[in-house]
Amino acid sequence: MAAAPAAAALRPHLSLLSAGGGIPNPTLQTLSFVAPLLLRRRCRRCRRRSSVVLSNASSSPPSPPPSPEKEVEAAPTAESCVNLGLEFFSKGRVRDALEQFDNALELNPNPTEAQAAFYNKACCHAYREESKKAAECLRIALRDYNLKFGTVLNDPDMAPFRASPEFKELQEEALRGGEDIGSGFRRDLKLISEVQAPFRGVRRFFYVAFIAAAGISTFFTIPRLIFALQGGDGAPDFLETAGNAAINIGGIVVLVALFFWENKKEEEQITNISRNETLSRLPVRLSTNRITELVQLRDISRPVILAGSKASVTQAMQRAERYRTDLLKRGVLLIPVIFGASLKVQGKPKGFGTTRSAASAPSIGVRPLLHIY
């Protein structure tokens, strides 16, 4: 307010300056002092306004990321449908999750998205105890989209499916391999088998090489044997030629038998590996009522399964009680399995009632098969 009268008082001097009149030096000094003062006040007001705007912008919360449902409504893609289906599945909305996985398969997905859609669709069917539909989805994922069979063995959401006859049939198909289900699982098992028996491949190579050498030798020995039977001048000795032919033929028979024996041993080993992998995924109930998988006990102990009738298992546990201290020192964990023991089967709710909550939905509430006392 004090600067306004000062500026008004200087207007005549400014007009005289523009008209060419002379102005004393003190007036010019005052003008040079007042003008920067006005500019500074204006700049301060501008700075205050700009600081308020910046503070308001910085204090405003960032916009939340769009939810998967809004993304699907805006531009539905296979990836967004799969993510939304996974969100529904985690909340226990299995039917809505199935719809989203079906939508993802209709939106021209890439191989990775198609594999995820088929596998998660199988998880939904497994949760709803629809084992046949789950097996069909898994066959497609294994055959066409290179799904690892170990994923089916390791996933807790597949626990209901692993207890069904369809899983056993699917596992046998995966062991055989072929066009219907792919050869990925069998290839992985063969790698494990080669680690356990590293010289089997070398032995089979030498078997094939010796069979080929004996076959070539027999091919050249048979005409000599025929010529020895005919006799005549220059004919080879019959006994010597017959002995060479017998040695070659006997070597071929023995080597072929060894080759098939090695193949049989490999098949038995692959079957044992597959059975051990399946058993290692069985849930175990500890004495603290905690449920864990048998494979998770390998790092901390050496589990030993005692299977049989109730009387035999009880007797074995009583006899092992005297060695309790030694077993604990060696990290041996005894797991009794009673054949024919009654298990509580949860019935499906009928009529009006509460549905299963999200906490008891996927991955929770697996029925224990083994018990540790």
Q: What is the pLDDT of residue 249?
A: 94
Backbone dihedral angles phi then psi of residue 179, each to the nearest 5 degrees:
-75, -25
Instruction: Please say which residue of 129, 147, 178 terminates a domain.
Output: 178
Instruction: Please say which residue of 234, 264, 280 terminates a domain.
Output: 280
Residue 93 CA: distances (Å) to CA of 13, 90, 115, 360, 362: 85, 8, 21, 12, 10
Q: What is the DSSP letter of 63?
A: P
Residues 248 and 292: their CA atoms lie apart, in Å, by 58
Between these two residues, 9 and 160, which has the higher pLDDT value? Answer: 160
- Residue located via tokens 């080879």: 236
| pLDDT of 80 over the 60 cut | yes
89/168 same-domain check: yes
Asked which of 11-20, 224-233, 301-310 is least confident by mean pLDDT, the reply is 11-20
Contact 81, 96 (CB under 8 A): no
Tokens of 141: 């994922």
141/239 same-domain check: no
| Mean pLDDT of the residues in the chain | 74
Amino acid at 308: G
pLDDT in tens, 177-207: 766 666 677 777 788 888 888 888 899 999 9
Q: Is the pTM of this model over 0.85?
A: no
Q: What is the pLDDT of residue 238?
A: 84
148/227 same-domain check: no
| pLDDT of 308 over the 70 cut | yes
pLDDT in tens, 239-287: 888 899 999 999 999 999 999 999 999 889 888 888 887 777 777 877 7
138/152 same-domain check: yes
168/72 same-domain check: yes
Q: What is the CATH number of the domain that holds 88?
A: 1.25.40.10
| pLDDT of 52 over the 70 cut | no
- Residue located via tokens 């066009």: 179
Instruction: Please say which residue of 237, 265, 280 terminates a domain.
Output: 280
Contact 117, 83 (CB under 8 A): no
- β-strands 332-338, 302-308 pairing: parallel
Question: Is 133 a domain residue?
Answer: yes
74/173 same-domain check: yes
212/307 same-domain check: no
Percent of the chain with pLDDT over 70: 69
Give the range of the structural domain holding residue 264, as residue numbers without chain letter. Answer: 200-280
Q: Specify the number of domains making up the chain.
A: 3
Backbone dihedral angles phi then psi of residue 308, each to the nearest 5 degrees:
160, -165
Question: Is 37 a domain residue?
Answer: no
Question: Is 93 a domain residue?
Answer: yes
| pLDDT of 351 over the 80 cut | no
Question: Is 195 a domain residue?
Answer: no
| pLDDT of 83 over the 60 cut | yes
Question: Is 305 a domain residue?
Answer: yes
Q: What angle do CA 336, 341, 347 make, to 5 degrees?
A: 125
Tokens of 294: 């048998």
| pLDDT of 2 over the 70 cut | no
DSSP characters for 221-245?
HHHHHHHHHH--TTPPPHHHHHHHH
233/270 same-domain check: yes
Asked which of 34-38, 56-60, 140-144, 166-170 is least confident by mean pLDDT, the reply is 34-38
Q: What is the pLDDT of residue 86?
A: 92
Residues 159 and 294: their CA atoms lie apart, in Å, by 13
Q: What is the pLDDT of residue 338?
A: 86
Residues 204 and 259: their CA atoms lie apart, in Å, by 6
Confidence band of 68 (pLDDT split at 50, 70, 90)? low
Mean pLDDT computed over 3-11: 45
| pLDDT of 356 over the 80 cut | no
Tokens of 139: 């066959």
274/290 same-domain check: no
Confidence band of 96 (pLDDT split at 50, 70, 90)? very high
Residue 354 CA: distances (Å) to CA of 312, 331, 346, 357: 42, 44, 14, 8
76/163 same-domain check: yes
Q: What is the pLDDT of residue 62?
A: 52
Question: Is 38 a domain residue?
Answer: no
- Residue located via tokens 């002995």: 243
Question: Is 16 a domain residue?
Answer: no
Percent of the chain with pLDDT over 90: 26
Q: What is the pLDDT of residue 367?
A: 33
Question: Is 194 a domain residue?
Answer: no
Confidence band of 51 (pLDDT split at 50, 70, 90)? very low
Confidence band of 33 (pLDDT split at 50, 70, 90)? very low
Residue 256 CA: distances (Å) to CA of 59, 172, 245, 312: 82, 27, 17, 45
pLDDT in tens, 162-180: 888 898 888 888 877 766 6
97/151 same-domain check: yes
Q: Count of H helices and E strands in the chain?
A: 15, 5
Asked which of 50-59, 222-231, 238-247, 315-324 is least confident by mean pLDDT, the reply is 50-59
Confidence band of 304 (pLDDT split at 50, 70, 90)? confident
78/94 same-domain check: yes
Q: How many CB atoms lie within 10 A of CB 106?
A: 11
Give the range with max mean pLDDT: 125-134, 233-242, 290-299.
Answer: 125-134
